[in-house]
Structure 1
């Protein structure tokens, strides 16, 4: 189905944010293929921060723990077309097409240069969002197959990502949490991404850090914020979202409670 932002089940959707900003913590279940139409999206991950703007085309691999901050810009709302590649769709595609595995693929965000195939494809999708009824399933299938075919023509390594149907395995909890504590996810989601049930996640976390996940995460976020304020000379308004806090007042309260002085006193 095709849909707009409010549809939770659409495989092709138009994301539109007209507010000051929209923040979300994600670890997408499916690979997503997106074109930014207007506005700006910042993607914060453990090892890198990306900024995307109008005309940018990207492929977002599944299970990438990220903070997304979407902003209107230059008087325009944030708008993006997003296509989700579900395992069912991908398996159907690769039963009809020979997989070309390579060793060059990495499980990271891919940004693609302008290409006539990409321009034509995303332009063809825009009129669908004016439909009052759902997009016919046959057209959805055609457009998703077209998207995969285009990616295969411009990215020789893409099959190694899209045709990888392996399951998440249990990973080192200490390494994972040290890289991803700034993301606001439920304990269940942290457990899933480390290959554990909630009970096993809490048990293994206690063994690794000798405290609860909630206490450890807050402490780490505050320490990161303190570093950015004191060493990088950033402002509290620019720090609180990226370090995992939902609003500035809560950040300021927690910061002063932990350190004994407010974020603004550092400067």
Structure 2
């Protein structure tokens, strides 16, 4: 890519390895956000998330992706069942696994380029072998932690709690469409469930929570409005000042004399 992609909705129908080569990637899940640089790679479980991808100083973004299905996970786990076992009490696993790249990973990613362009059957078979090779390497490197994550890819999805989605992502500058997407709801369902949960509409509640936190930062950490207005989703200082005064009855610049 040669342009930034900001807060794009992704409905990932297969699991995915993402090997970032140049640029920056930010993936926002229902419970957290994860930033990835070109020295890292990430494995994403199928599902909904919001992604931001930014070009680097050379105005370029490049990432290699490997998609794989539950069927491939089951096949691998069955083939190596005598070698790998999941933990007896498998705790909740996040929907991603992030690792630092190393020489092996760099060589592995480079080898994928050489496979492209081969005849269809040969390319598919080689990719299957390379995929298996990668998993064997990661299990050897990361041990039981990675094994448990890999088992979790075929586990049933958890029921995402609306309150958890909202309060985890409150200061990530996500709009209501994006929060609804992460909660696996339509916007209308999200608004209806939000009002049932919080007894008010989501726009007002989120705006007031953000302004309250901004005021706290200015009072306790001596932050200036011009330093933080963008962090709370305002496009300019004037709009932030107006919203602040409407909510509190005075301007941010008056906090020192309150």
Q: 2:60 aligns with which of 72, 77, 81?
A: 77
1:211 counterpart SS class: coil
Which residue is equivalent to 1:255?
A: 240
Per the TM alignment, residue 72 of structure 1 is displaced from its structure 2 partner at its CA by: 1.2
Q: Which stretch has the larger CA shift, 60-69 or 206-215?
A: 60-69
Looking at structure 2, the residues matched to 204 and 221 of structure 1 have their Cα atoms a distance apart, in angstroms, of 20
1:189 aligns with 2:181: yes
Which residue is equivalent to 1:125?
A: 112
TM-score by length of 1: 0.65
Aligned CA distance change for structure 1 residues 170 and 35 (closer, same or farther; 3 Å): closer
1:148 aligns with 2:132: no
Which residue is equivalent to 1:160?
A: 148
Gaps in structure 2 of 5+ consecutive residues: 254-258
The answer to whether the Cα contact below 8 Å between 1:38 and 1:76 also exists between their aligned partners in 2 is no
The answer to whether the Cα contact below 8 Å between 1:228 and 1:239 also exists between their aligned partners in 2 is no
The aligned runs of 1:1-267 (5 Å cut-off) are: 16=1, 18-19=2-3, 21-25=4-8, 29=12, 30-43=14-27, 50-63=34-47, 65=49, 67-73=51-57, 75=58, 77-98=60-81, 99-102=84-87, 106-107=93-94, 109-127=96-114, 131=117, 136-156=123-143, 157-164=145-152, 165-181=154-170, 182=172, 183-184=174-175, 185-186=177-178, 188-192=180-184, 201-221=190-210, 231=221, 233=223, 240=230, 243=232, 245=233, 249=235, 255-260=240-245
Looking at structure 2, the residues matched to 63 and 219 of structure 1 have their Cα atoms a distance apart, in angstroms, of 31
Looking at structure 1, the residues matched to 120 and 238 of structure 2 have their Cα atoms a distance apart, in angstroms, of 47
TM-score by length of 2: 0.66
Per the TM alignment, residue 111 of structure 1 is displaced from its structure 2 partner at its CA by: 3.7
Looking at structure 1, the residues matched to 19 and 178 of structure 2 have their Cα atoms a distance apart, in angstroms, of 28
The answer to whether the Cα contact below 8 Å between 1:34 and 1:81 also exists between their aligned partners in 2 is yes
Looking at structure 2, the residues matched to 105 and 175 of structure 1 have their Cα atoms a distance apart, in angstroms, of 15
Which residue is equivalent to 2:256?
A: none
Gaps in structure 1 of 5+ consecutive residues: 1-15
1:112 counterpart SS class: strand
